Chain A
Amino acid sequence: MILQVFLLSSKGDHLIYKDFRGETDASIINIFYEKVVALPGDQPPIVMYHDGLHLIHIRQGGLYFVATSKSNLSPFTVIEFLNRLAALIKDYCGALSEKTVRMNFALIYELLDEMMDYGYVQTTSTDILKNFIQTEAVTSKPFSLFDLSNVGLFGADTQQSKVAPSTAASRPMLTTRGDQGSKNEIFVDVIERLTVVIGSNGTLMKSDVQGEIRVKCFLPSCSEIRIGLNEEFSVGKSQLRGYGTAVRVDECRFNESVRLDEFENYRILKIHPSHGEQTVMQYQLYDELPLAPPFRLFPTLERDPTGRLLVYMKLRCDLPPKSSALNVSLNLPVPKGTLSMSQNLSSPDQSAELQQSSKSIQWDIVRFPGGSQLSAMFKLEVPGLSSASLLEVGPASLSFELPKHTCTGLQIRFLRLSISQPALPQRWVRYVTHSDSYTIRI
């Protein structure tokens, strides 16, 4: 069982501390922080040990979520629990940050109180918890489950991409707040993470897609909804459907609450969504992208007569012309001896700089339309440039965000709510692809 749960800010401030069993004291918080800060980068910090206590923690939203235990329990369960706690805080408080946690400490204590008793998980379902917490939400908390304007859309992804997701901007503003009718919304998000390695000769060495369908429900009463996927959607290699471009994934897992009786024939998922966010389906695609990878890089390395290193890069975006990539950022390691850099970029909406701490070039493109091509020329001042230094250049890694695009081609055909709601709820379907790791060898 779990003995204590506590939340720390990245600076080590105590935000939340709950002792479930009274077997240990609060001094462990400071010990934890000292330990976690002192860890060298290559040490796995997830489980630490101090004086009979196992400290298991995760980091989300810049906060440490820590659970302590004396027994040898399942790491998966504890990590899942802490993740769930973070997700619930996000659901109830709108976002996950030091500030929201500070402002809602009472609500979070209340949550913890209902989620866990004597170190045992009682329930983490939003539906059940809502009954106990709802009273709280009425007392005009600054943030609540239904206060839509604070809901982060892809909050979970902020861990790796510091930029605000592009789809956040396209969210509709609520006209009237606090009115029951206007809270009638449901979001279905298809989120894919793309991992690609392109070899130095341009061949695709690895391409994986991790996708999930998330439902975020703000309906006052949740009835069954039906989500229709592409009819040609198929799982596994053997099974191909239709004659058009098949949408194929290798592996697919569903939330337990999803009913699949119409999935086999009509590709329809039936689900009773609970309030807040939940993952309905997770899927993976290995090594076979239906489309070309979204970016291609054509680099040239040259030594000019004055001893400078010339890096000429052409970056092509292979998306369909209508869509575009946002917040593209290319990172290219350069020789360690590099002193300075001069640049020549093809268009004004880009920027580039040499990062001295990591000795790499950071090339940022805010918006990159599909089918277009950008180029950049960097002149690097490297004393003692040798042919070996050229080996130090690369690999280039890209991070980006592709709104309204899925790499597998998965689409939501329709989203139907079964029984007639008093007012027709607003339904939103959104697609986004994030780069998990997009590497181009040079």
Chain B
Amino acid sequence: MVKASATVDIVQKKLVYLYMCSYAALKPDLALLAINTLHKDCADRNPMVRGLALRSMCSLRMPGITEYIQHPILMGLRDKAAYVRRVAVLGCAKMRNLQPDAEIVDAALVNELYGLLRDPDPVVMVNCLRALEEMLKQEGGVVINKPIAHHLLNRIKDLDPWGQSEVLTFLLRYTPRTEEELFDILNLLDDFLHSVHSGVLAATICLFLRLSSAHPAVQADVLERARGPLLSASTAQCRELRFAALCHVQQILRSLPSLFAEQYKKFFCSYSEPNYIKFRKMEILIELVNDNNVAVILEELRAYCTDISPELAQAAIFAIGRIGQNYSEKCMSILTSLLGLKQEHITSAVVQMFRDLVWLCPQCTDLVCQALVDCEDYILDSEGKQALIWLLGVYGDQIPNAPYVLEDIIDNLKTEATPLVKLELLTATMRLFLVRPAETQDMLGRLLHYCIEEESHMAVRDRSLFYYRLLQCGVDETRKVLGSIKSDPFLGGIVSQQQEPVNNWASDFNSLVPIYGKNQWEAIKSARGSMSLSTEEQEEVQPDLPGFEETEQEATTSSSKAVHFEPCLSTSPPISPLSFEQKWLTLQPCRQVVVSWEEGDCAPNILQDALSHSNICALAFSKPHTWPWKAYLYSHGMNTLILAELLLNSSTDSLQITVKQEKDNKEAVDSFICVLEKVIEMMKSSKT
């Protein structure tokens, strides 16, 4: 593979580099072999090859690569071709993230990047912002001061939509000094409110809302101007885009419910849309209702009630019910007519809406009581049953056949699975007993008996025992407990819908928050909060990789193969002398090398230093001047542990190296010996 990268065919080169980038992390030693070719390509005449090589080199995600890419990146920043500069700028960010433990960001590099913000190529400029943002993460990201902000504003028209939306997001950090400046910015960027690209559109709206956070009138004006583009985004052909736009429209409606009131027809569902869009549109329609359009919207919603999808039909009925809180008469007539369909899911949803409506609009009670007759046969799900039983209990005196309906349910109690229905039934029967004792007494007795003697659910049993004891206290006591004053629904938060100030959500505009919905987002945030804590702890124990300046120089000057292997050795995890000894004794020697050694002895600390720079750990030495002198070394590399013994034999003037390893890996041994020989060579030369 590495050899293949030396080809002149660009297509082949691209594929090879792509392959290497994907697998470099798994086989770092092999990828190192490619560095030479990449270096060569970085000096190619063709800017495309230069850029490609630089990008690939920066994308090799393996430890120790930084020393090799530093120089090419710096060269790349000054390259003639914009393409190479783009790559080089992002390369700075990649390099920075590869050595996260380096504490100080290279100030010269940062300055150079700030300088490149003035680059004639727009993509280089945006990439500079992105790179600086990542490199200066700890200091709070890139600083947007007045000159930079103005520079960005002047250049923004040259950018492509991606760059524009990103720059607009960066501009959020800038606060104009004067109002005049603020309005200049707004005027300058006004065209972007009509961008075809929804990303730019949303970013512009977000920026405008944030800039004018002190001027609510301007905010309303901005949203007014953005209405058309937002509407066309919410009718876009791409349904994913449509959904995202609808979520944002919904957010705007929380503050300005009248903004889209005229265009309510835009939010009618079309039959080819997936359900999730239809649901969202119905939610929006509820918000848009006013005196003028209520009839049309209700008519439209009514048409959805017979949809093939039961969920959608129910949602439409719930929507009508919600509108009914303000327009009860019209909604009641629609809901009652729906009962005529005699379909289970529809009847159930309608009855649930009845329950909510009589609670909020007591004036509908009579109509509800008339409508309830005969619908018990079509309610099978537990939510519908609960609603029906509740209604029968509370308005039992107005519904003639209430006791008989309840009796039916009580008789079939054994087949009822949901405890909530049983609880509801207990309360309702008790209430009915208070108003129509003669008809109810017998079945109440049966119900209580069953619930106390045979029921296994604790809450149901406790409730029935409670009612039983309550009845023992007498009817008047019971009436006091069950028929006491009800809470006023208008005190609760159900009806009151405060208009939210725009600034509450302006910072969440054009983000994932409106799409997830607030509650889910909070959940995600809290989950992530706990997670990021734990990752921070993990980061602290990352091993640091010592860089050795001498070898780095050699790496750039010499073309020796061995040097490239070096960084793949590592001294962690450390091995205790005891386990070293055990392993040494059990393993077989796999290689023996003899090097000449004329000088007398060597100072252990020098050797130790030199070795540790090469990521070889010297575990134990003999004392100086003892013969034969021995040293024991180890290192990890390429998934194997390599152990070595150095034996200095004064009689033959030679140093004998014995290597053993845990898992058979010839390459690892080769590279280890290469490195070791190099170190010894250096020791010798330093002595002379």
Q: Which residues of A contact B (CB under 8 A)?
A: 1, 19, 21-22, 41-47, 49, 51-52, 54, 57-59, 72-77, 79-83, 106, 109-110, 113, 117-118, 120-125, 131-132, 135-136, 139, 156-157, 159-160, 193, 195, 197, 199, 205-206, 208, 210, 251, 253-256, 279, 282, 284, 286-287, 331, 333, 336, 358-360, 386-388, 391-392, 394-395, 397, 399, 436-437, 439, 441
On whether the beta carbons of B515 and A75 are closer than 8 Å, the reply is yes
What secondary structure prevails in chain A residues at the interface with B? mixed
Point out the residue from B165, B276, B312 that lies within 8 Å of A43, measured CB to CB: B276
Of the candidates A44, A46, A76, A125, the one whose C-beta lies within 8 Å of that of B202 is A76
Contacting residue for B512 out of A51, A58, A73, A441, CB 8 A: A73
With A113-B18, A125-B160, A208-B266 as known contacts, state yes or no: A46 contacts B513, CB within 8 Å: no
If A22-B61, A284-B235, A391-B341 touch, whether A47 touches B309 (CB-CB below 8 Å) is no
Shortest beta-carbon distance from B300 to chain A in Å: 8
B510 engages A253 (CB within 8 Å): no
Cα distance A270–B309 in the bound complex, in angstroms: 48
State which of B8-16, B181-189, B644-652 sits at the interface with chain A.
B8-16
| Bound Cα distance A206, B443 (Å) | 55
* In the A-B complex, the 4 residue pairs with the closest CB atoms: A437-B270, A77-B199, A44-B276, A121-B162
| Residues of the B chain whose Cβ atoms lie less than 8 Å from the Cβ of A81 | 162
Please determine whether A395 and B303 come into contact, CB atoms closer than 8 angstroms: yes
Nearest to A65 among chain B residues (CB) is B240
> Are B161 and A210 in touch, CB under 8 angstroms?
no
Contact A75 B512 (CB under 8 A): yes
- Which has the most chain B C-beta neighbours within 10 Å: A132, A359, A399? A132
B341 touches A80 (CB 8 A): no
Tell me, in angstroms, the Cα distance from A400 to B15 when the chains sit together: 45
Give Cα A135 to B7, complex, Å.
14
* Closest beta carbon of chain B to A199's beta carbon, Å: 8
Contacting residues, chain B, for A80 (C-beta < 8 A): 161, 197-199, 241
Contact of A47 among B199, B239, B263, B512 (CB under 8 A): B512
The answer to whether A388 touches B341, judged by C-beta atoms less than 8 angstroms apart, is: yes
Of the candidate stretches B86-94, B143-151, B489-497, B673-681, the one touching chain A is B86-94
CB proximity to A under 8 Å, residues B187-219: 194-199, 201-203
| Candidate in A74, A79, A333, A386 with the most chain B CB atoms within 10 angstroms | A74
Q: Which residues of B contact A284 (CB under 8 A)?
A: 231-232, 235
When chains A and B are docked, how far (Å) is the Cα of A52 from the Cα of B279? 27
Q: Is B533 an interface residue (CB 8 A)?
A: no
B348 to chain A, nearest CB (A): 15
A-B contact count (CB 8 A): 206
Judging by beta carbons under 8 Å apart, are B311 and A42 in contact?
A: yes
Contact B244 A75 (CB under 8 A): yes
Q: Closest A residue to B276 by CB, please name it.
A: A44
Q: Which among B130, B296, B528 is the interface contact of A52 at CB below 8 angstroms?
A: B528
| Chain B minimum-CB-distance residue to A156 | B237
Q: Closest Cβ of chain A: how far from B248's Cβ, in Å? A: 8
Q: Which residues of B contact A282 (CB under 8 A)?
A: 196, 232
B511 at the interface (CB under 8 A from A): yes
- Name the B residues within 8 Å of A45 (CB-CB): 276
Quick check: A113 and B14 within 8 Å, CB to CB?
Answer: yes
Q: Which residue of B169, B194, B232, B308 is within 8 Å of A333 (Cβ)?
A: B308
Q: Which residues of B contact A254 (CB under 8 A)?
A: 196
Given A51-B531, A109-B18, 16 more contacts at CB 8 Å?
Answer: A42-B309, A45-B276, A74-B203, A77-B203, A80-B241, A83-B238, A110-B14, A110-B18, A117-B87, A120-B126, A122-B123, A195-B270, A205-B265, A253-B232, A256-B195, A358-B308
Report yes or no: A22 in contact with B25, Cβ–Cβ below 8 A: yes
A251-B232, A253-B232, A254-B196 as given contacts; A123 in contact with B123, CB under 8 Å:
yes
Task: Select which of A41, A47, A441 is within 8 A of B515 by beta carbon.
Answer: A47
The answer to whether B140 has its CB under 8 Å from any CB of chain A is: no
Q: Tell me if B449 is interfacial: C-beta within 8 Å of chain A.
A: no
Q: Produce 1/0 per residue, B244-271, CB < 8 A to A.
A: 1100000000000000000101101011
Query: Which single member of A41, A75, A439 contacts B309 (CB below 8 Å)?
Result: A41
Q: Which residues of chain A are near B312, meaning CB under 8 Å? A: 42
Interface hub of A22, A156, A157 (most chain B Cβ within 10 A)? A22
Cα distance A395–B127 in the bound complex, in angstroms: 53
A135 in contact with B199 (CB, 8 Å): no
Query: B458 CB to closest chain A CB, in angstroms?
Result: 32
Q: Which residues from A are CB-within-8-Å of B97? A: 21
Chain A contacts for B627, CB-based, 8 A: none
List CB contacts (< 8 Å) of B509-531 with chain A: 510-513, 515-516, 520, 524, 528, 531
Can you name the residue of chain B whose Cβ is closest to the Cβ of A388?
A: B340
Chain A residues with CB under 8 A of B64:
none
Q: List 26 A-B contacts (CB under 8 A).
A: A1-B130, A42-B315, A44-B279, A49-B516, A54-B512, A59-B240, A72-B511, A76-B202, A76-B203, A76-B244, A76-B245, A77-B199, A79-B240, A79-B244, A83-B238, A83-B241, A120-B130, A125-B160, A131-B48, A197-B268, A208-B265, A360-B308, A388-B340, A397-B272, A437-B270, A437-B272
Query: B residues engaging A (CB < 8 A)?
Result: 10-11, 14-15, 18, 22, 25, 48, 55, 59, 61, 86-87, 90, 93-94, 97, 123, 126-127, 130, 160-162, 165-166, 169, 194-199, 201-203, 228-229, 231-233, 235, 237-241, 243-245, 263, 265-266, 268, 270-276, 279-280, 296, 299-300, 303, 306, 308-309, 311-312, 315, 340-343, 510-513, 515-516, 520, 524, 528, 531
Do A73 and B511 touch across chains, with their CB atoms under 8 A apart? yes
> Chain B residues near A437 (CB, 8 Å)?
270-273
Q: How far is the CB of A110 from chain B (nearest CB, A)?
A: 6
**B280 lies within 8 A of A77 (CB):** no
Are B90 and A44 neighbours in the complex by a CB distance under 8 Å? no
Contacts of A131 in B (CB 8 A): 48
Q: Find the B residue at minimum CB distance from A19.
A: B22
Cα–Cα distance between A110 and B235 once the two chains are bound (Å): 33
Q: How far is the CA of A77 from the CA of B199 in the complex (A)?
A: 4
Docked pose: A109 CA to B259 CA in angstroms: 44
In angstroms, how far is the closest chain B Cβ from the Cβ of A240?
Answer: 20
- What distance in Å separates the Cβ of A6 from its nearest Cβ neighbour in chain B? 13
Contacts of B59 in A (CB 8 A): 118
| Residue with the highest number of chain A CB atoms closer than 10 Å, among B199, B279, B311 | B199
Contact of A76 with B198 in the complex, beta carbons under 8 Å = yes
Q: Is the CB of A193 within 8 A of B199?
A: no
User: How far does the alpha carbon of A76 sit from the alpha carbon of B237 in the complex, in Å?
Assistant: 14
Q: How far is the CA of A333 from the CA of B303 in the complex (A)?
A: 12
State A193–B273 Cα separation when bound (angstroms): 14
- Known A-B contacts A72-B511, A118-B90, A124-B162; the reply to A47 vs B516 at CB < 8 A is yes
Instruction: Find out whether the CB atom of A135 lies under 8 angstroms from the CB atom of B10.
Output: yes
* B371 → chain A closest CB, angstroms: 14
Residues of chain B within 8 A of A44, CB atoms compared? 243, 276, 279-280, 515
Contacts of B123 in A (CB 8 A): 122-123
In the complex, residue of chain B having the shortest beta-carbon distance to the beta carbon of A1: B130
**Which of A19, A199, A256, A336 has the most CB atoms of chain B within a 10 A radius of its CB?**
A256
In the complex, chain A residues whose CB is within 8 Å of the CB of B235: 195, 208, 210, 284
From A44, A46, A439, name the one whose CB has the most chain B CB atoms within 10 angstroms.
A44
Q: Is the CB of A206 within 8 A of B306?
A: no
Cβ–Cβ < 8 Å partners of B94 in chain A? 118
Decide yes or no: A132 and B48 within 8 Å by CB, A22-B61, A251-B232 being known contacts. yes
Q: Is the CB of B268 within 8 A of A206?
A: yes
Q: A74 to B272, Cβ gap below 8 A? A: no
Min CB gap A31→B, angstroms: 16
Q: Is B272 a contact partner of A436 (Cβ separation < 8 A)? A: yes
Complex-state Cα separation, A124 to B257, whole angstroms: 37
- Once the chains are docked, how many angstroms separate the CA of A82 from the CA of B87? 22
**Considering the chains assembled together, what is the distance between the CA atoms of A127 and B481 in angstroms?**
79
Write out the residue numbers on chain A whose beta carbons fall within 8 Å of the beta carbon of B197.
80
On chain B, the residues within 8 Å of A253 by CB distance are 194-196, 229, 232
Q: Provide the residues of chain A in CB contact with B61, threshold 8 Å.
A: 22
CA distance A320 to B94 in the complex (A): 63
**Residues on the A chain within 8 Å of B270, using CB:** 195, 436-437, 439
